[in-house]
Amino acid sequence: MTEAGKRVAVLVEQQYQEMEVWYPVYRLREAGCTVELVGPEAGKIYPSKLGYPAKSTLAAADAKAEAFAALVIPGGFAPDYIRRSETMLRLVRDMHAQGKPIAAICHGPWVLCSTSALQGRRVTCFHSIKDDVQNAGGTYVDQEVVIDGNIITSRTPDDLPAFLTALLETIRSR
């Protein structure tokens, strides 16, 4: 597998949606990727919406886009906190500038609304942020997974199998 040894960043912050962090983490690890949980602070525990802990392995300030093959942005309420952190946004912007795959699910595209990544792109997301995605220059599409250039998006946890298949295929093809 060409995913073996690839390093992938999964963003974490408080109030993340459990499945949207852990399903990608385990699928990516099964494919042979090295997964870093990137948060505002290294070694901090970020509780999910239900209190499930995710301990960051790397601070966003220390995360360099060059070191990663792809980036995952989960949903839940975490994106509202992620987009408040300039170091988290810098990583997302740098990944996008380098054309690396950015996979955002559910409310995850909210983070992309705070960058230029959605301009002129077809995207999907949880329906309640559809207006935000459109106001950020994206074209909303209601389907389980949308790939437009380096941006991969999905709507809800039900879409996780298609979301991870698309991400892994994208990583494999690069």
Taking only the tens place, the pLDDT of each residue in 4-22 is: 899 999 999 999 999 999 9
Displacement of CA 120 from its chain's centroid (Å): 19
Q: Could you give the residue numbers annotated as active site?
A: 107
φ and ψ of 75, to 5 deg: -100, -145
pLDDT in tens, 103-161: 999 999 999 999 999 999 999 999 999 999 999 999 999 999 999 999 999 999 999 99
> What is the value of pTM for the model shown?
0.97
Which fold would CATH assign to domain 7-173?
Rossmann fold (3.40.50)
